[in-house]
Amino acid sequence: MSAKKQSLTQCQSLLVFLSDFIDGTLNDDLCQEITSHAAECEHCRIVVDTLRKTISLYHECADEQAEIPGEVRSQLFKTLNLQDYLEP
Amino acid sequence: MSEGKSEISIEALRRGDRGEFARLVDAFSGPLYRLALKMLGNASDAEDALQNTFLKAFQYVDTFEGRSSLSTWLYRIASNEALMMLRKRRPEINFADSTVEEEDERNYAPVQFTDWCCLPEEEYLSAEARKAMDRAVEHLPETLRIVFVLRDIEDLSIQETSQVLGLSETAVKTRLLRARLRLREELSSYYGDRLNKRSKE
């Protein structure tokens, strides 16, 4: 097998572990394998970095969207017949 | 959801204590509305789904056995509600369809290799970027979207997500990875364009 083919196979085989790698739930041996591979393989380094960035951007947005809009809350309380618990 | 919200008394809810129901609504309506909004993509449908979720929670609180947390139980009702509304729009959706796990993983192999991690900070969460992020979520198949929303937007664990959806943890992990890889591809297109535009400016 050529070096290029070997590397492609390794890229594909490591792909399935990327979520656990980014979430910090992957075992040390596989973490080490991904880190070493990404140090040699520019495409995989970019995939790891941009995947991590993708997840962190969604986390950041979610934190800002945790509040329900006031009018939605009011309507919800009315529909549930709880309007007497709706503080002004 | 914060720990403080677990102080809601199931006994009081079962007794029909309206004050306790109001506390329950205030504790959980924010995250459940966000889930509905991300799943359904529009505010009006999300509001309907939220109302139905609490109406069902009130109606069926007697059947809550406490084997899962109150939060997991509510997320289950809300997820089912959102998926049911999506099924009304497109009856062919089958959430339990396991072909999503059997699908060839090469379909999810990365094809975009632009390194967009070096953009200036203000680019990442501009109004335009947020729209691109929302669009990317909307483009996910529903079976992947619900897993992504529960795990990465609502911050549930893999175990909690599997309990909410009645899927194995392995299935949740497979769907999550595929959702994240798809989103990375879409964001790579958007931020890659931004990178090109900036380099020409």
Q: What is the pLDDT of residues B144-185, one digit of tens each?
A: 999 999 999 999 999 999 999 999 999 999 999 999 999 999
- Angle at alpha carbon of residue B51, lines to B157 and B23, rounded to 5°: 70
Q: Where are the domains of chain A?
A: 3-85
Please tell me the distance from the alpha carbon of residue B143 to that of residue A46, in angstroms, as a whole number: 27
Interchain contact, B34 vs A43, CB within 8 Å: no
Q: What is the ipTM of this complex?
A: 0.91
CATH number of the domain at B104, please. Answer: 1.10.10.10
Interchain contact, A50 vs B188, CB within 8 Å: yes
Whether residues B109 and B193 fall in one domain: yes
Whether residues B103 and B152 fall in one domain: yes
Whether residues B61 and B153 fall in one domain: no
Residue A61: closest CA among B2, B162, B42, B37:
B37
Work out the pLDDT band at B2, boundaries 50, 70, 90.
Answer: very low
Please tell me the distance from the alpha carbon of residue A60 to that of residue B88, in angstroms, as a whole number: 32
Q: Is the pLDDT of residue B1 over 50?
A: no
Whole-model pTM: value is: 0.92
* pLDDT for res B200: 85
Residues 6+ apart with CB under 8 A from A23: none
Minimum-distance CB partner of A76 among B51, B116, B184:
B51
Whether residues B12 and B76 fall in one domain: yes
Minimum-distance CB partner of A59 among B109, B113, B152:
B152
Look up the domain containing B155 and give its range: 99-200
Whether residues B140 and B166 fall in one domain: yes
* pLDDT for res B20: 95
Whether residues B152 and B184 fall in one domain: yes
Q: What is the pLDDT of residues A13-70, one digit of tens each?
A: 999 999 999 999 999 999 999 999 999 999 999 999 999 999 999 999 998 888 899 9
